[in-house]
Amino acid sequence: MSEGLVLVVEDDPAIADLVARYLRRDGFGVRVEADGAAGLTAVRRQRPVAVVLDVGLPSMDGIEVCRTLRADGDWTPVLFVTARDDEVDRVLGLELGADDYVTKPFSPRELVARVRTVLRRGTVTTSVLEVGRTRVDVTQRRAWADGAEVALTSTEFELLAALMRRPRQVFERAQLLSAVWGYQVTGTRTVDVHVAQLRAKLGDASPIRTVRGVGYAADPS
């Protein structure tokens, strides 16, 4: 049985073929597109469970594809593939609503593992969590701030839920990286960017408190 369709948008045929082979080997269905515009159309028509999206694409780059999807209210998990190994591109991608990224050259096994990690975030089955003026339903993957529903990416939702499951507990950034992303990465900027995005979306109702020099906690007060 297929694990679902993953859309791979990559203009390098060798990389696209390698990623597709490993995804199929792991039980996924795969569709490959070679440019951004075709990839955007495929997301809308095929409804994949996840998108592996190269940043440097012809006709429409990966950043613009992701921006357009999120502006349309489409929160299909997106994993960026980029040759630009610098913090600006990483932060930009995460702020646009990307769920993860890998930098070329990468291990195809690691990429498949990261796709699975992103998808596992959608299988949590627990009750409604409420901390202060923020509420999440992890079964339906929905969040509310001051009674108004807030659209979150898969990663933003999982980070918020991880904090809210243990109110007042202080999490180090490394703990959050392990709990939410499911693997270790170099540096903790990823956590900080996602927290900043959550605070922007939740507004004054955000329960997330910074513990200077340590990490973050969900505070009911």
pLDDT tens profile 67-114: 898 888 788 889 999 887 665 566 666 777 788 888 888 899 999 999
Q: Note the pLDDT tens digit of each residue in 55-80.
A: 989 889 998 999 898 888 788 889 99
Q: Is the pLDDT of residue 52 over 60?
A: yes
Give the model confidence (pLDDT) of 169-187 as tens digits: 888 888 888 778 766 555 5
The whole-angstrom separation of Cα 221 and Cα 207 is: 8
Q: How confident is the model at residue 4 (pLDDT cuts 50, 70, 90)?
A: confident
CATH 1.10.3720.10 applies to domain 5-121: no
The whole-number pLDDT of residue 51 equals 96
Percent share of the chain, pLDDT over 70: 88
- Judge whether 5-121 and 125-218 match in fold: no
> According to CATH, what is the number of the domain 125-218?
1.10.10.10
pTM equals 0.64
pLDDT for position 87:
55
One-letter identity of residue 171: F
Domain chopping of the chain, boundaries? 5-121, 125-218
